[in-house]
Structure 1
């Protein structure tokens, strides 16, 4: 669906996504201290020392900074797809100074939480921050509305990466940037979907979808975007994430298998960028 955003209907939410980000409220789970709901970029954290809540929050913020550095939202209009509680939108607004930023999420309960969490900022700067209900594959915006589009650890949930890529190209102005950080299967990994389902409950349940990073890069190129690039940031994600999980989860429990999947070259974490010509 493209074109007039006024004709958009309410998005359909997959059951596993509805439960995890609604009634279950993943942002309240202790491993996601700070409420950003991402695995973190741990490059600035000393993993040889005991980890603090401050270290965890910094890792989540630093993952956003990696993506925002690549998206270059300064001075333009930005949109975050899969904004969750909107804390990344607030960070972008404070540190990168875009003209305005829109957070879009498919889950209405997440948007309620985002508006509550960012109430003072919304009240102080209603012209610069807003939160909107919408799906990645059917964005409720007009053509060429944004200078950059970014997404942090949400694309593993998107059912149709080709539709997302087309929508990203549509809502960007010429010269606009896309930056996506998420975990994907490693290209060429045999039987990746079955292997991941055996290791990780989030893949077995269908919450996370097993696809290679090339599925998204090919989709972005197919949508007419150029300078499509992929960079693995797994070394800065997986060891720190596992170190943090070790505070709450014993070895052999399924969340600890993210590191095992990376070490077995089944799964990795990528930063993917592209430009609308």
Structure 2
């Protein structure tokens, strides 16, 4: 259970009292950098464009996880649950569980989705749990997804094993997050020098190959990572440019990408049929 997995202080504070979802750059209650392929970056970016970018990142993951109509979905690191609501609205799963380690986030999720929970109580729930120790039965879900949460996970190997455990045979997982492109040990120091979220321990620098290998070690097949960095970093930086000056740490995400220390990926894998 989540109670046996201790949150790092940076995670506890950022998603608790600080309430990252209330920061204007994360308009709409989503907490992700966005997928900007459908937004004209040559024009002024509206709040509506920003919300669309965040919704479109979810759509990338929902597409990557494969058909999910009438299936049972789990989102790991659901935050305010607005992605769960989008999945219910557009993907028509039978049921979706939003899981988060932070109790304050779950309180906010239940409040933000109160009308949906009342209208469709049999199709949506929010549960406290850790990525490394999920409070679910073996084979409970057809699909597992996670959107911009894996950079916080303490143990990627434990996450992979738990994902394999809760997936049904034939089930699929899709994870979107940012990782280093290779296992060069110097990435970590360079990212900490550029980005406050790495320096204070909120984000953890890991090679993308770690998660694909971990999923494979856990018994999943066809683990692969696809870069979507070109559709993420420029739009994110363009959105920030009205609020942050060049050289300030949030603007350094684009610099880290351009210098080869960081990229954004969608990672997928499948549990073999029994």
Count of aligned positions: 271
1:104 maps to which residue? 99
Q: CA deviation at 1:194?
A: 0.2
| Structure 2 residue 60 is matched with structure 1 residue 66 | yes
1:167 is aligned to 2:153: no
Query: Which ranges of structure 2 fall in alignment gaps of 5 or more residues?
Result: none
Q: What's the offset of the Cα at 1:189? A: 3.9
2:29 aligned counterpart, secondary structure: coil
Check the 8 A contact 2:95/2:123 in 1, yes or no.
yes
2:239 maps to which residue? 244
The match for 1:20 among 14, 17, 38 is 14
Q: Give the aligned partner of residue 270 of structure 1.
A: 265
2:164–2:218 CA contact under 8 A, matched in 1: yes
- 1:134 paired to 2:129: yes
Residue deviations 1:169-223 (CA, integer Å, cap 9, x gap): 0000000000000000111445000000000000000000000000100000000
Unaligned 5+ segments in structure 1 are 1-6
Counterparts of 1:48-197 in structure 2, within 5 Å, are 48-72=42-66, 73-189=68-184, 191-197=186-192
Q: Which runs of 4+ in 1 moved over 3 A?
A: 7-11
CA distance in 2, matches of 1:188, 1:210: 10
Q: CA deviation at 1:11?
A: 3.5
Q: How far does the alpha carbon of each residue in 1:128-166 deviate from its partner, in whole angstroms, 9 at most, with x for none?
A: 000000000000000000000000000000010000000
| Matched-pair contact (CA < 8 Å) for 1:189–1:265 | no
In the aligned structure 2, how far is the partner of 1:31 from the partner of 1:65?
20
Question: Secondary structure of 2:169's match?
Answer: strand
Query: What is the CA–CA distance in structure 2 between the aligned matches of 1:32 and 1:247, rounded to whole Å?
Result: 14
Q: Distance in 1 between matches of 2:89 and 2:4?
A: 30
| Aligned counterpart, 1:3 | none
Asked whether the equivalents of residues 231 and 272 of structure 1 are also in contact (C-alpha less than 8 Å), the reply is yes
Partner residue in 2 for 1:33: 27
SS of structure 2 residue aligned to 1:34:
helix
- Counterpart contact for 2:144–2:167, Cα < 8 Å: yes
Aligned partner of 2:226 in structure 1 is: 231
In structure 2, the CA distance between the partners of 1:8 and 1:237, relative to structure 1 (3 Å rule), is closer
Specify the SS of the correspondent of 1:159: coil
Per-residue deviation, 1:240: 0.1
Which residue, out of 196, 199, 208, partners 1:201? Answer: 196
8 A Cα contact 1:10 1:134, kept in partner: no
TM-score under structure 1 length normalisation: 0.96
Equivalent residue of 1:51, what SS?
coil
TM-score (norm. length: structure 2): 0.97
